[in-house]
Structure 1
Amino acid sequence: MTAITVTAPARAGGKPLADVRTMFRRNLLRAVRYPGLTLFVVVGPLVMLLLFVYIFGGAFGAGVAPGVAPGAEGRAAYLTYITPSLLVLTVVGAGQSIAISAAMDAAGGIMARFKTMAISPGSALSGQVLGTVVQSIAALVLVLGAAVAIGYRPQADAVDWLALLGVLLLLAVAISWLCVALGLNARSVETASNAPLILLLLPFLGSGFVPVETMPGPVRWFAEHQPFTPIIDTVRGLLAGGVGLDGATVAKAVVWCVLIGVAGYLWARSLYRRERRV
């Protein structure tokens, strides 16, 4: 079978911002057309919130907050502990949806067609990332609202809220770029849906659901040095009004987000520019 090489034509000028806005609107329209992807971003964390708080929380709460009695008091303590973790998982879950969208565009030849059009290079990817970030923020509001409705009470002040928004936005951008790359690199849409699962597992292997101090040696070492532990600890500390939060943890969280975002962006850009043979 003869390979057909699709390359982008030379462009004279262009309107990058207008092109990004167009692709951003396209991403939002896709979210409406495929509501299952959007609902997954919110429903998954909400189910986990109810499951872990009302089924496991009574027992787990005594482990994350020494001196807390199992039962209602334990559930309240575990709700406080787990809510920041679920906010991070919400952002990661949104990354899975963008990986699927990118794979659908690549498999359907949409990306190849974009390269032949007079649009700004990379605007197709940037629009997808921007749209996913907006969906992530909307999902975060819903998940946090649900946690507050069942008893969660954050202690953050105005500065903490601004810092929290900055960290979550940075994480959303980083995860979105990485998942775009995973989607473009996948050989099929089914593969793309599974590729980001390792990102969903990492919070479980960190401080997301239990303190790392309770883990055995090798597992604890991994938990302490993987990206999501400082990110979750930073979100948890900011929601607690800075209690137990130090500058080193925040710095690690920011550095990890930047590294993930830069690596994802460079990888996605390389895959997008690569000649696609069909």
Structure 2
Amino acid sequence: MSKRFLVDTAVLTGRSLQHVLRSPDTIITTVLMPIAFLLLFVFVFGGAIDTGSGSGEGDYTRYLLPGILLITVASGISYTAYRLFLDVQSGIFERFQSMPIARSAVLWAHVLTSLVANLISLAVVVAVAFAIGFRTGAGPGGWLAVVGIVVLFTLALTWLAVNPGLTASSVEGASAFSYPLVLLPFLSSAFVPTASMPGPVRWFAEHQPVTPVVDTLRALFDQRPVGGEIWTALAWCVGVLVLAHVLAVRTYRRKLG
């Protein structure tokens, strides 16, 4: 990793972060839906859902929060594709190509900007969860593990968002890919145990990437052994990250010719 790449990435990331700071409504919009889901499920549906984790709003908030965090990330990465699409349409990529800038720095700047924006959104969601009764005995090590897994998950989905940002022909097309990702937690263990689901739905829920990530985060919050779920979660995150990165780099090189 060259010094030039690091310097160029830092400069371009600063540029992208300035755009985010000038329009904080993107972060506000990102957190509104996850917070609405959190409040809806805790205060409207929470009393009728048996998760086997006890009773009370605080118990269900703790059960629910991991899935809400992943929905927050899935919602936030749509803005990555959107901002990347605007840069492509404005022709700034061509201008960067004519400058002595490391090519990959352009993509990494968008990815790191997305990571920072998503971490801010996640912090807001966690603060709201604490306000409505979320409690955890997880220590510093547990929280570091939670942050690490969430960061890895965010990077995987963000690189996934780079591809539609580079190839979309409209603003709607650039951000629409995130809709299935937002819905994926609803077909996982995020809201109810998979054991309560019908056969085919249960099979899908137990073999898709969100469930092991949710179960791992929940175990860390509950101070329970994570078991083999953490390796499944890491395998999914790393696998998606590597595949999405390779596809994004290839798409970017083709676009630049």
Q: Please give the TM-score of this superposition, normalised by the length of structure 1.
A: 0.87
Q: C-alpha displacement at 1:83, in angstroms?
A: 1.0
Q: C-alpha displacement at 1:39, in angstroms?
A: 1.4
Q: C-alpha displacement at 1:148, in angstroms?
A: 0.7
For residue 83 of structure 1, what is the amino acid of its counterpart?
L
Q: C-alpha displacement at 1:153, in angstroms?
A: 0.3
Contiguous gaps of at least 5 residues in structure 2: none
Match of 2:118 in 1: 136
SS at match of 1:15: helix
Match of 2:196 in 1: 214
**Aligned mates of 1:155, 1:215 — CA distance in 2:** 30
Q: C-alpha displacement at 1:108, in angstroms?
A: 2.2
Say which one has the larger Rg.
1
Match of 1:4 in 2: none
Match of 1:124 in 2: 106
Q: C-alpha displacement at 1:220, in angstroms?
A: 0.7
**Aligned mates of 2:9, 2:91 — CA distance in 1:** 19
Q: RMSD in angstroms over aligned alpha carbons?
A: 1.8
1:47 lines up with 2:36 in the alignment: yes
SS at match of 1:122: helix
Match of 1:230 in 2: 212
Q: C-alpha displacement at 1:32, in angstroms?
A: 2.0
1:263 lines up with 2:250 in the alignment: no
Residue-by-residue CA offset, 1:11-40 (whole Å, 9 max, x unaligned): xx9811111011111111111233332212
Structure 2 residue corresponding to 1:113, chosen from 82, 85, 95: 95
Residue-by-residue CA offset, 1:106-129 (whole Å, 9 max, x unaligned): 222222322222210111110111
Q: Please give the TM-score of this superposition, normalised by the length of structure 2.
A: 0.94
Given that 1:180 and 1:268 are in contact with CA atoms closer than 8 Å, whether structure 2 keeps it comes out as yes
Given that 1:175 and 1:261 are in contact with CA atoms closer than 8 Å, whether structure 2 keeps it comes out as yes
Q: Percent identity?
A: 39
SS at match of 2:65: helix
**Aligned mates of 1:140, 1:194 — CA distance in 2:** 21
> Runs in 1 of length 4+ with deviation above 4 angstroms?
none
**Aligned mates of 2:116, 2:3 — CA distance in 1:** 25
Structure 1 residue corresponding to 2:232, chosen from 218, 228, 252: 252
Equivalent residue runs for 1:1-278 within 5 Å: 15-60=4-49, 63-65=50-52, 68=55, 73=56, 75-242=57-224, 245-246=226-227, 248-275=228-255
Given that 1:14 and 1:119 are in contact with CA atoms closer than 8 Å, whether structure 2 keeps it comes out as no
Q: Would you say how many aligned residue pairs link Structure 1 and Structure 2?
A: 256
Residue-by-residue CA offset, 1:126-168 (whole Å, 9 max, x unaligned): 0111111111112211111110111110121222111111111
